[in-house]
Homo-oligomer: A and B are copies of this chain.
């Protein structure tokens, strides 16, 4: 019989194929290229990147499955006891060219911890899907959140409100007056068997999340990708991408954990946007579309 880690790992690899194929079709011109890499301490990954497409300026869909001894730097990052570990995950970050198409990020992951006898002593699931628009289309936010809510509701009625709140609390640039990175989505971590839920419950739910990514995002791409834009829209997109960089390099646990524990730097930093602008003290014009976005980012909305 398949173990949890075998089933989830196979699922992630199939999802990577499916998602890359669908994004290539949506783009219509560029293709993903793959770098397979090995981790010196055990395991490795398949990094797939698409650059300079007609629709997607930079997209990464990365699978990894790593395992091995818990070294001292890993231990200090994890802050957990344990002798060895297994971790698998799929990470997606998409930076479209057109400023009217939002950036999106999705990640699902599974972690097992073993004691000195090699017995599994802890295991958990985590994940999240969130949206970062440059211009606000309420329809898009509603569609995105309703798709995620429907996904959550299939596993239980309390999930979406809880995971939506966690997302709003996590993706925040504290040094920007607690400005959110985007309009949120769902976020969960350290979801263990217990409290009435089994490992099978979290496995099913996390797989379901990964299946919700394309239906949550692609319809938005489809209806916004041909809107004409000007250099002004592009400048705003590049300035906002600067905030994306600030969050990822200063706060994102996955990024910092990966980089500080000897992960593959180029695979981790595929999340950074292709062209970015840092302008001193840029303030959107009062009443502009740009200002409307920033107002929403400081006051999370119940979109679903």
Contact = CB atoms under 8 A, between A and B. Distances in A.
Interface residues of A, number: 30
A66 B274 CA distance: 37
A159 B174 CA distance: 39
A250 interface: yes
Contact of A276 (B60, B256, B259, B277): B277
A272 interface: yes
Q: Which of A176, A249, A265, A280 has the largest count of B CB atoms less than 10 A from its CB?
A: A280
B58 A265 contact: no
A31 interface: no
A288 interface: no
Given A246-B249, A272-B242, A275-B275, A281 B259 contact: no
A169 interface: no
A51 interface: yes
Q: Which of A246, A249, A265, A278 has the largest count of B CB atoms less than 10 A from its CB?
A: A278
A35 interface: yes
A270 interface: yes
A293 interface: no
Interface in A46-63: 49, 51, 58, 60
Given A245-B245, A249-B246, A259-B175, A269 B274 contact: no
Interface of A: 35, 49, 51, 58, 60, 175-176, 238, 242, 245-246, 249-250, 256, 259-260, 265-266, 269-270, 272-281
Given A175-B259, A175-B265, A242-B276, 14 more contacts: A49-B280, A49-B281, A51-B279, A58-B278, A60-B280, A175-B260, A176-B265, A245-B278, A246-B249, A250-B259, A269-B278, A274-B277, A275-B277, A276-B276
